[in-house]
Chains A and B, each alone.
Chain A
Amino acid sequence: MSSEITAPLPGKIVRMDIEVGTSIEEDTEILAIEAMKMETVIYAPCDGKIEKIVKKVGDEVEEGDVIATVV
C-alpha cells in the first residue's frame, strides 16, 4: 500500500533530502518549503521507501499538493 507525502503549507520547495528508492523513517527530515521568506522543515509521515517524486526543488506548491509517494 502506498501513501502520499503532501505539502502541509503553500510555498516553494527549497531543499529535498530524498530521491527515488530512499528508505525513510517516520519523523525524519525529508524536505524544506519556504513560505513568507521562512524555511520550514517537513518530516516523513510514515516509514517506507520513496516510490515516486512528483515535485522538484524550486517548484511552487499549494497546500495539499502531492510531493512524493511512499511504499
Chain B
Amino acid sequence: MSPVGIFIQGIISVFFGMTLLYLSIKITAFAVDKFAKKDKGAGKDGK
C-alpha cells in the first residue's frame, strides 16, 4: 500500500473510531439516564 493510502486511511480510521466511541458514550449516557429514571424516579446517580 502506498504511503498516501496509509496516510488517508489512517486518519480516517482514527476519526471513525473516535466517532464510534463518541456515539457509544452518548447512547450509554442516554440509556443509563432512562434506566435510572424508571428505576428510582429522578435518581441520576445510578448508585
Answer whether A and B touch in the complex at a CB cut-off of 8 Å: no
